[in-house]
Structure formats: structure tokens, C-alpha cells
């Protein structure tokens, strides 16, 4: 079976984890801070705080930015549940915004309309599949309406894009967002088994994120001389810490990230080249002028359900990313007719295999099976 995504683990990764397992610290040790510093540098941000998963990172980001019972947060419905759930964890309300049917990201025109008609507190932008949203445009809208921005880059670590001044920006550098969140789930660009992170250029956000991920506990170095054991819980926090052996895996994976991203980029271009002549499918619009770090390869396909079964029966494990969140029983109450593009996407969208170790032979198998499906 060829899966839609999978992790890449080599001997160096295994050796790095074993070294920590043999050390004095399995958790709350020095490897975590080393990982965070390397991650911040890689993404171009001042600060990074690691978490046990990307959902936790999103939750804490919402708390830091003040999401509460009176908050309304705008986001795309075509994303994983965690994007919306993180707002609800913080007692906020979700306002979904329809997608652009070409690139499958949040429609910026629809977002502007929403900002003009609703009292929005914040925006969570998702780079679906790694296709980067123009964050400069989002920031312009946010500034006009005085709202904060979380950049959900769980699909896009390592990506690069050009702003209006032709300056190359890194996904996660927070040039146009308050906080960026990442995920290190096994099918993502790099993995720590499970894991996530917050990136920010705001020192106060950074310090508070560290406290909130560890039960709300605060320690001051000034106390260490007289009372090294002392700590204070100043607000309710959570046990959202990552372990040192996970951090060790993350450090090792980061070393290979650029190579893997280049491989993903070339795989996407090869798919696009081969699907250009198949009228029944429309790939996600890819901006190859940017250096996107693609996580998913998504197409809109005629007779999607039958194609899904056909591919699965022939050894190709595809996926649908995602069921629009407003379709979930928990979020019902939204008028489906208000989201025509999201509905069209859900009717036709399918994710094909994309990961660094995908061979040309197996990629050609996927392409040829799709050709055969539509010919027959």
C-alpha cells in the first residue's frame, strides 16, 4: 500500500533518540531548549516554544491572544478540527469564511467582507497543504480592523514566499502574524512522534507560553539562592510539555528538512505536469514562484468517491483533507449554502501520496491509475 503520507526515520534519528534515553533527562532537560533555539532560527522567528502536539500549541496561542467568551475568531472550514477546536477550548466562537476554489485557502475577499460585517477578534490563517496564503494581505486587513493573527503553519514549515517588496519571507518568521503554530505529527515535514510549537517575535508571548504549557508554574532565578525549590502558580496552565527524546528526534529531523522539502516540491511539479492533460481533475493552484513546502497534493476530481475506492483497491491509500468543519455535528447550525466553494471542494477533493521517500515508480503508478480510471 502506498500511503498519502509517511515519516522518514533513519539511523541518525534513532541514534539521537537513544543518546537521550541514556542521558539523565528524559523530560524537562536541556535538549528541549536546544531544539527550540534551532527551530526558531530555522523559521526566522525570535522565539519558539515546543508542545506535546500542534493542537496544544493552537490552544495556548488563543489564550495568549485573549480569546474568551466574547471573542469571535474567523478561520477556514477546510482545515483539521484542531484549528476551530482550539478557539472553543478558550471559550471563543468560530466564524467560518469560505475558501478560494483555486488554491483551497481562505478567500481573502470573503474574509474582508466578514471583517466588515462582524465584530471579529482574531483570524487563524491556514496554509492548506503547504500552499502559502499571502500573509501581507492578511496583515493589512487585520490592521485595518484591529484584530490579531494566528498563522496555522502545521502544513508549511520551511516554506518561503515573496512579499510586495520582493523580500523573501520564511513561513513562521511572524513578520505578518502575532503567533505561528506548527505540528510535528508523523506525516508532517518533520516529526517528533507527536509534537508542536509556537513561534513568535513577542517576548511576553514567549514567556507566557512556557508557563502555560507547564501547569501555569512560574519560577524566578532570583529565588534559587535561598529557595531553589520554590515556584508559584499564577494562572491555570496545562501539562502540554514535549519530552527530551522527542526534541532530540526533532533536532535530527531539522537537519534534513530542506532536502525533504525540495523533494516534495519536485514531486508536486511532476504531478502537475502529468495531470495537465486530464480534463476530469483540477490540481490545487500552486505558486511555484514561492518556495512552498508542500505537505499535501490535493486535486479536485470528477467522480471523486469512485476514484477514491478505485485507487484504494489498487494499493493507493488516499485521503480527504478535510470534511468542512461546519459539517461536524458539534458545529452544526451553519448554513451550508453560505459556503459554495467549500462544498464543491468537499465533493471533489482528494489527497494523493506525497512524501520524500515516494519513488518515481510509485508516483507513476498513482498517475497511471488515475489516467486509466478516466479512460475506462
pLDDT of residue 225: 79
Domains of the chain with CATH codes: 2-254 (3.40.640.10), 257-375 (3.90.1150.10)
Determine the Cα angle at 38 with ends 34 and 42, to 5°.
Answer: 170
Cα→Cα distances 180→48, 52, 252, Å: 9, 16, 22
Helix (H) or strand (E) holding 197: strand 196-200
pLDDT of residue 220: 84
Could you read off the pLDDT of 351-360 as tens digits, one per residue? 999 999 999 9
- Taking a C-beta distance cutoff of 8 angstroms, is the pair 354, 267 a contact? yes
Q: How many CA atoms lie within 13 A of 316 on its CB side?
A: 24
Residues 6+ apart with CB under 8 A from 178: 65, 148, 149, 150, 200, 202, 205
Could you read off the pLDDT of 71-88 as tens digits, one per residue? 999 999 999 999 999 999
Q: What are phi and psi of 155, to 5 degrees?
A: -100, 5
* pTM of this structure: 0.97
The three cell numbers locating residue 11? 539511523
Task: Compute the CA torsion angle 32, 37, 43, 45 (nearest 10 deg).
Answer: 120
Q: Which residue has the higher pLDDT, 39 or 335?
A: 39
Could you read off the pLDDT of 285-294 as tens digits, one per residue? 999 999 999 9
Distance of CA 234 to the CA centre of its chain: 30
Q: How confident is the model at residue 47 (pLDDT cuts 50, 70, 90)?
A: very high
- Distance separating alpha carbons of residues 130 and 136, to the nearest angstrom: 17
Could you read off the pLDDT of 167-224 as tens digits, one per residue? 999 999 999 999 999 999 999 999 999 999 999 999 999 999 999 999 999 988 788 7
Question: If you average pLDDT over every residue of the chain, what do you get?
Answer: 97
- Taking a C-beta distance cutoff of 8 angstroms, is the pair 217, 233 a contact? yes
Residue by residue, DSSP assigns 296-314 as -EEEEETTHHHHHHHHHHT
C-alpha closest to that of 190 among 360, 366, 84, 35:
35
Q: State yes or no: pLDDT of 94 exceeds 90.
A: yes
SS3 of residue 9 by DSSP: coil
Alpha helices in the chain (DSSP H): 11-21, 30-43, 54-64, 81-89, 108-117, 135-145, 203-212, 244-254, 257-275, 304-313, 340-348, 360-375
pLDDT of residue 27: 96
pLDDT of residue 224: 74
Could you read off the pLDDT of 309-353 as tens digits, one per residue? 999 999 999 999 999 999 999 998 889 999 999 999 999 999 999
pLDDT of residue 228: 87
Q: State yes or no: pLDDT of 273 exceeds 80.
A: yes
- Distance separating alpha carbons of residues 51 and 36, to the nearest angstrom: 10
| Mean pLDDT along residues 256-264 | 98
Q: How confident is the model at residue 297 (pLDDT cuts 50, 70, 90)?
A: very high
| Mean pLDDT along residues 137-144 | 98
Helix (H) or strand (E) holding 179: strand 179-183
- Taking a C-beta distance cutoff of 8 angstroms, is the pair 190, 9 a contact? no
- Distance separating alpha carbons of residues 94 and 150, to the nearest angstrom: 14
Q: How confident is the model at residue 253 (pLDDT cuts 50, 70, 90)?
A: very high
- Distance separating alpha carbons of residues 196 and 49, to the nearest angstrom: 9
The three cell numbers locating residue 232? 508559584
> Percent of the chain, pLDDT > 90?
95
Q: How confident is the model at residue 91 (pLDDT cuts 50, 70, 90)?
A: very high
Residues in the chain: 376
- Distance separating alpha carbons of residues 213 and 227, to the nearest angstrom: 23
Residue by residue, DSSP assigns 133-192 as --HHHHHHHHHHHT-EEEEE-TTTTT-EEE-TT--EEETTS-SS-SEEEEE--TTSSS--
Amino acid at each position: 500500500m502506498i500511503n498519502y503520507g509517511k515519516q522518514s526515520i533513519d539511523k541518525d534519528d534513532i541514534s539521537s533518540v537513544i543518546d537521550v534515553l541514556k542521558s539523565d533527562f528524559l523530560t524537562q532537560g536541556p535538549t528541549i531548549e536546544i531544539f527550540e533555539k534551532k527551530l526558531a532560527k530555522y523559521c526566522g522567528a525570535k522565539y519558539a516554544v515546543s508542545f506535546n502536539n500542534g493542537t496544544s500549541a493552537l490552544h495556548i496561542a488563543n489564550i495568549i491572544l485573549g480569546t474568551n467568551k466574547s471573542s469571535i475568531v474567523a478561520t477556514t472550514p477546510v482545515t483539521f478540527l484542531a484549528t476551530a477546536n482550539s478557539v472553543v477550548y478558550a471559550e471563543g466562537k468560530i466564524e467560518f469564511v469560505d475558501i478560494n476554489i483555486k488554491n483551497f485557502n481562505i478567500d481573502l475577499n470573503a474574509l474582508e467582507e466578514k471583517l466588515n460585517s462582524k465584530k471579529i477578534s482574531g483570524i487563524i490563517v491556514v496554509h492548506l497543504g503547504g500552499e502559502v496564503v499571502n500573509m501581507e494581505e492578511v496583515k493589512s486587513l487585520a490592521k485595518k480592523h484591529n484584530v490579531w493573527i494566528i498563522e496555522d503553519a502545521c502544513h508549511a514549515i520551511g516554506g518561503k514566499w515573496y512579499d510586495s517588496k520582493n523580500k523573501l519571507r520564511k513561513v513562521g518568521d511572524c513578520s505578518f502574524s502575532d503567533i505561528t503554530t506548527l505540528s510535528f505529527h508523523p506525516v508532517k515535514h518533520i516529526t517528533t512522534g507527536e509534537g508542536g510549537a509556537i513561534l513568535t517575535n513577542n517576548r511576553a508571548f514567549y514567556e507566557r507560553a512556557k508557563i502555560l504549557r507547564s501547569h501555569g508554574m512560574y519560577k524566578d532565578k532570583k529565588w534559587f539562592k535561598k529557595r531553589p525549590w520554590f515556584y508559584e502558580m499564577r494562572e491555570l496552565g496545562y501539562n502540554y510539555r514535549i519530552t527530551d527524546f522527542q526534541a532530540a528526534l526533532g533536532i535530527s529531523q531539522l537537519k534534513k528538512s530542506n532536502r525533504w522539502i525540495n523533494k516534495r516540491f519536485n514531486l508536486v511539479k511532476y504531478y502537475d505536469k502529468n495531470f495537465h492533460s486530464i480534463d476530469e481533475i483540477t490540481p490545487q493552484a500552486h505558486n511555484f514562484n514561492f518556495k512552498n513546502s508542500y505537505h499535501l497534493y490535493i486535486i479536485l476530481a470528477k467522480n471523486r468517491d469512485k476514484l477514491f475506492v478505485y485507487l484504494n483497491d489498487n494499493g493507493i491509500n488516499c485521503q480527504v483533507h478535510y470534511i468542512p468543519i461546519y459539517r461536524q455535528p458539534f458545529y452544526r447550525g451553519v448554513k451550508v449554502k453560505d459556503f459554495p466553494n467549500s462544498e464543491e471542494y468537499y465533493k471533489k477533493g482528494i489527497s494523493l501520496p506525497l512524501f520524500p521517500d515516494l519513488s518515481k515508480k510509485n508516483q507513476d503508478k498513482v498517475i497511471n491509475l488515475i489516467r486509466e480510471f478516466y479512460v475506462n
